[in-house]
Amino acid sequence: MRSHLPAAALLAAVMLPVAAVAAEATARLPALSAEDSRRVGALMARMSVDEKVGQLNQVAGADATGPVSPAKAEDLAAAVRSGRIGSMLNIRGAAATRQYQQWAMRSRLKIPLLFALDVIHGYQTVFPVPLGETASWDLGLIEQSARIAAIEASASGIHWTFAPMVDVARDPRWGRVMEGAGEDPWLGAAVARARVLGFQKRRLGDTDAVMATAKHFAGYGAALAGRDYNTVDMSLQQLHDVYLPPFKAAADAGVASFMNAFNTLNGVPATGSRYLQTTLLRRQWGYDGIVVSDWGSVGEMITHGFARDAAHAAPLALNAGNDIDMESHVYDKALAAAVRSGAVATPTLDAAVRRVLEMKARLGLFKDPYRFSDERRERQALSNPAHRLVALEAARKSAVLLKNHERLLPIPPRVRHIAVIGPLARARRDLEGGWLVNSSPQHVVTIAEAIKARAPAGTQVTVLDGCDVDCASDAGFAAAEAAALQADLVVLAVGEGWDMTGEDRSRADIGLPGRQNELVQRVARAGKPVAAVVLGGRPLILNTVAEHAGAILLAWLPGSEGGNAIGDLLFGHVNPSAKLPITFPRSVGQIPISYAHYMTGRPAGAVRAPYRSQYIDSPNTPLYAFGHGLSYTTFEYTAPALSAAAIKADGKATLRFTLTNSGAVYGEEVVQLYVHDEVASLARPVRLLRGFRKVGLQPGASAQVEFTIDRATLSFIDASLASVVEPGSFRLMVGAASDDLRLEARLEVLP
């Protein structure tokens, strides 16, 4: 197997100047300069109530990313010129943003607009969907991809991205699981910080940095039954212990804005939740950035039955802590009257307006409203080939090798005829995934093209779809089976199309779409070795694939360079190194399912016994566990050493061990630290991720890996919502997956 340039060498060739992610980075929003502070104060003093309300009104431009189509362009121009709009979304491009900014400069007070866009996993260069990119567990790479997205988007006039989505999600029926960082708060918090720092750099104000948004605040990932926009009901202890840590990490990283959520949390719409937006965010966390509603959610409080009408919804939202109203027009219609009636106190209105004006000042827009709208810079940024190289590296590092029976992969040179079969074999747009804003699918290399380009000279490569991605018909199955019969090896390309996950894409059945499982069975009937490449933005039920394919490479929705990355991985030019950030269940019936489950009073054992917490028709274990991912090499974990057998609650210990690449090729291993607090004031999960490292090693090489065990590792949120470290015994476990633990040590925390 050709050993490929280690990832680090390639990245070094293209890495953009990104400071290393300082583990303790707790950048807050940069302080306002004295000049800007004076400017904002003077402006506030001149503003009418209507002009203040205008700053809190956010309106969509060209594309609707919500249920109501946006106003017409001429109405928007008039509204901008009259100062009734403070920010816009879905306007992109240096020319278009410049035009709207020119209209804003014709308003009485010449307050510049903010331009926002959902730059979720790239602007023009498309990276793997966020759930897939999280599978790399490579925080530097994750920050790098957000950095490139910001460079491209800001060059196109964008000031503000509605990303990262940091919702912890444990129900893969929910389509938006694709947009986040999976099921775990510790991993989710680390990724949230990396993405915020990537988008914003260490400070806002540079023209290649954009405001980031921590969304959707909060609990949206726990939507009942995995159905989008549905109710969320949970204890505050669960909210704080599981769902809030990534939001707190984003706030500590200095995220410029929070977006609230469509769902009710324990009966209160997040947009109208004073607990979330004021008590928690502003008072307890001391957050001083902007809070924006989600599309129409201010008005949807009426639909929820929480507000009578717009006149009631406007003060409910603003008084709860929602600064900007995205696209419901409730503030535009009813907020000024609410101020005049006293339903909203002027200081409350002023505090929200001040946060918006201060953000515009931080971006330098009062000095030069057009500084982000530079067509020459746009052309340069959008044609930088280095960006695609990083996208290729991200796709390579995100694909998870789920299975590799008898080392079927990488494809050996003896294979002289490959049949590439499946509805995604020739897909381009599907590889990019949803939430695209400016990409060019025509430049995406397909899986089939990538295989043809990498197969040794003289290898025959046959390509058939078998069916389309919906796979309603079996008309192409016979030809697929026949092609498999002629080949030495089959590469199956199956899974979801780009529009089967994301917002408003919940699925009650998360198997392969349509009759794709039947296609898998028919192709397998030919009796040739099958390597499956699975595409999708969520965990899928892969039992049939696992039964018939000797190898499974989960490529997610891998972005602009996904085809090339899959080709590199299939032929071993790159060694897979990704690990699952979310559990893959055996059936929908197991959902919600997580590695961080509880012992219960009657845990099921390895051998079935009566009266245990179990199913009569399924194991409790998932098909593939959180943290699972194979490599073309092997790793040994040896010589664990704990620096102390006991510590005080505020003490520290170090857990060291040796990792060795015991195989024949370079590989990167994500070593994971799990902790179990064996006896506590609340029953604790059987294991919780509390540390990870991605370690690259040449064959035969070893490295000393070290984890610090401290309050962050051992604490949890107790019934009184306090973060506590309780005395007692803790199991420390290190391994290659949540179900593949290699080393264990025990630590006593003393009273």
DSSP string, 405-471: GGG--SPPTT--EEEEESTTTT-SHHHH-S--SS--GGGPPPHHHHHHHHSPTT-EEEEE-SS-TT-
* H or E stretch at 742: strand 740-750
Q: Rank residues 59 and 339 by Cβ distance to ligand GLC and give the closer one.
A: 59
Backbone angles phi, psi at 211, to 5 degrees: -65, 135
290-292 and 257-260 beta bridge pairing: parallel
Contacts of 370 (CB under 8 A, 6+ apart): 98, 101
Question: What is d(CA 529, CA 328) in angstroms, rounded to the nearest whole number?
Answer: 55
311 to each of 293, 318, 334, how far by Cα in Å? 17, 12, 5
The phi and psi torsions of 179 (rounded to 5 degrees) equal -90, -10
Using left for φ > 0, alpha for ψ between -120 and 50, and beta otherwise, residue 167 falls in: beta
Cβ proximity to ligand GLC, 291 vs 448, nearer residue: 291
Query: 474, exposed or middle or buried, with CB in 10 Å at 0-12, 13-18, 19+?
Result: middle
Beta carbon nearer to ligand GLC, 116 or 483: 116
Least Å from the CB of residue 120 to ligand GLC: 8
Quote the strand ranges of 302-412, DSSP E.
Answer: 325-326, 400-404
Residue type, 236: L
Maximum distance among all Cα pairs of the chain, rounded to whole angstroms: 81
In whole angstroms, the minimum distance from the beta carbon of 150 to ligand GLC comes to: 16
Shortest distance in whole angstroms from residue 70 CB to ligand GLC: 11
Query: What's the min distance (Å) between Cβ of 76 and ligand GLC?
Result: 16
Residues 135-194 contacting ligand GLC, CB under 6 A: 162
The one catalytic residue in 138, 241, 294, 465 is 294
CB of 537 to ligand GLC, least distance (A): 15
C-alpha distance from residue 275 to each of 265, 286, 324, 379 (Å): 10, 14, 18, 45
CA distance 582 to 596: 11
**292 or 447: CB nearest ligand GLC:** 292
Q: 273 vs 660, which CB is nearer to ligand GLC?
A: 273
Site string for ligand GLC, 37-76 (x = CB under 6 A): ----------------------------xx----------
Least distance (Å) from ligand GLC to the CB of residue 351? 23
Q: Which residues pair with 213 in a beta bridge?
A: 257
295 versus 584: smaller Cβ distance to ligand GLC: 295
Minimum distance of ligand GLC from residue 33's CB (angstroms): 30
For ligand GLC, the binding residues in 295-354 under the rule CB under 6 A are 295
CB 66, min distance to ligand GLC, A: 5
Among positions 486-505, residues that touch ligand GLC (CB under 6 A) are 503
- C-beta separation of 624 from 579 below 8 A: no
Residue 66 or 536 having the CB closest to ligand GLC: 66
Residues touching ligand GLC: how many (CB under 6 A)?
Answer: 9
- Spell out the alpha helix ranges (H) of 525-656: 543-548, 562-570
SS3 of 204, please? strand
In the shown chain, the binding pattern of residues 502 to 521 toward ligand GLC, with x for contact by CB under 6 A and - for none, equals -x------------------
* Interacting residues with ligand GLC between 209 and 228 (CB under 6 A): 215
**CA angle, 473 as apex, 471 and 474 as ends, to 5°?**
100
| Smallest distance from ligand GLC to CB 326, Å | 7
For the chain, give me the number of helices (H) and strands (E)? 24, 26
**Virtual CA dihedral for 684, 689, 691, 692, nearest 10 degrees?**
170
> Closer to ligand GLC at the Cβ: 195 or 586?
195
Q: Please say which residue, 173 or 396, places its beta carbon nearer to ligand GLC.
A: 173
Alpha helices in 461-595 (DSSP H): 477-486, 516-524, 543-548, 562-570
DSSP one-letter code for 194: H
Rounded distance between C-alpha atoms, residue 592 and residue 172, angstroms: 8
Instruction: State both tokens at 543.
Output: 């039992």
Least gap, CB of 562 to ligand GLC (angstroms) = 23
Applying CB under 6 A, does 127 fall inside the site for ligand GLC? no
Cβ 463 vs Cβ 476: under 8 Å: no
How far is the C-alpha of 563 from the C-alpha of 430, rounded, in Å? 11
**Pick 115 or 595: Cβ nearer ligand GLC:** 115
Q: Are strands 716-717 and 723-724 parallel, antiparallel or unpaired?
A: antiparallel
Helix (H) or strand (E) holding 600: none
x/- string (CB under 6 A) for ligand GLC, residues 87-116?
A: --x---------------------------
User: How far are the Cα atoms of 327, 492, 505 from residue 162, in angstroms, in the given order?
Assistant: 14, 35, 19
CA distance 178 to 186: 18
Whose CA is closest to 157, among 372, 401, 452, 478? 372
332 noted as active-site residue: no
Q: How far is the CB of 369 from ligand GLC (least distance, A)?
A: 23
Contact 660, 684 (CB under 8 A): no
| Candidate list 36, 51, 118, 138; residue touching ligand GLC; CB under 6 A | 118
The answer for residues whose C-beta is within 8 angstroms of residue 635's C-beta and 6 or more apart is 659, 660, 661, 662, 663, 667, 669, 697, 736
Q: Which is nearer to ligand GLC, 251 or 492 (CB)?
A: 251
Among 36, 167, 294, 677, binds ligand GLC (CB under 6 A): 294
C-beta of 89 vs 244, nearer to ligand GLC: 89
Q: Which is it for the CA torsion 251, 255, 257, 262, positive or negative? A: negative
Smallest separation, CB 65 to ligand GLC (Å): 3
Nearer residue to ligand GLC within complex by CB, 66 or 434: 66
Closest distance of CB 605 from ligand GLC, Å: 43
Interacting residue ranges for ligand GLC, rule: CB under 6 A: 65-66, 89, 118, 162, 215, 294-295, 503
Catalytic residues: 294
